[in-house]
Amino acid sequence: MIRLMKITMQKTNIALSVIVFATGVFLPAAQAQQGASDVRIFNTVKTKLAEGEQVVGGTVSTPDPDIYCAMANSGYDFIWIEMQHSHLGYTDVARMIWACKDAPAMPFIRVPDATEGDIQKAVDIGAVGIIVPMVDSVEKIENAVRFAKYPPIGRRSQGGGQYGALWGSDYRAAANDNIMIVAMIETPEGTAQADKIARVDGVDLVFIASSDLGSFSGRRQGDPVYENLVTRIKTETEKAGKYIGGPAAWMSSREGYHFFQGPGTASLIRTGVRVTLGADDPCRFVPSGTAPVQGEDPCP
């Protein structure tokens, strides 16, 4: 474990800051800061967002590595690996990620919950994004950050996994700067805590779960109550200096969003078949810029 200590020596008006390691080795703070600035960023989603770009991820909920590879090499920025609402296990997902370890799309996992076991398994198999569902409290997202990050930021333990083979021998030093934490707000209760959730250190992005926000509030998109919930989440997230995300349908209708969840594999297959058969647009009944409602979506 590393202990950080700032020591100021007043001599000839020179202030010297050092970092004290448990081993007794002293390094100048400036040298340590220089090392931190040299951390390799391999998470391309993070670099694209920092450059002001929008990023889109396709959703995968099947364990077939061939389908995962097709999605990961299709042009998406990341793959939203769905473990909350699917039968996927961590062995399945580990094989999927490994099968396309050189694919340009980054592996993001929506974990079932913000538990230590779920999150540490997700990062150990190589996820560079942890999507946390049903964030209604500050404590829940603080736990997610804690379990995903190595000390001194968090309490992720060093164990086995394929992360090193995927991301390089410097993974331990670079992981904290590459792993992104996405907080999903899906309820009015979470919306009421949006300011505090967005301000949690380590949270990179807040995602508005459009369908569930409608389900829990009993309102639809366009309804003033629903839109006030969305506006509150977005406004508080922007005040905190964090990115805001939403469904891919909002790319064309709402400004200020940078991170989008794209359709799932079943939807893409159906759409592809219809296109190749020359059929009409299966989404013709969905108003432009409106996120489909689960269960009523003609192209789910």
Structure tokens belonging to residue 136: 């209604």
Q: What is the DSSP letter of 14?
A: B
Burial 30-59 (b: 16+ CB within 10 A, else e): eeeeeeeeeeeebbbbbebbeeeeebbbbb
Q: What is the DSSP letter of 252?
A: G
CB of 206 within 8 A of CB of 185? yes
In the set 7, 15, 31, 85, the catalytic residue is 85
Does 85 participate in catalysis according to the annotation?
yes
Structure tokens belonging to residue 152: 């001194």
CB of 194 within 8 A of CB of 240? no
Structure tokens belonging to residue 127: 């996820």
Alpha helices in the chain (DSSP H): 29-37, 44-50, 65-72, 90-99, 116-124, 138-148, 163-167, 171-178, 188-192, 194-198, 210-217, 224-239, 265-276
- Catalytic residue IDs: 85
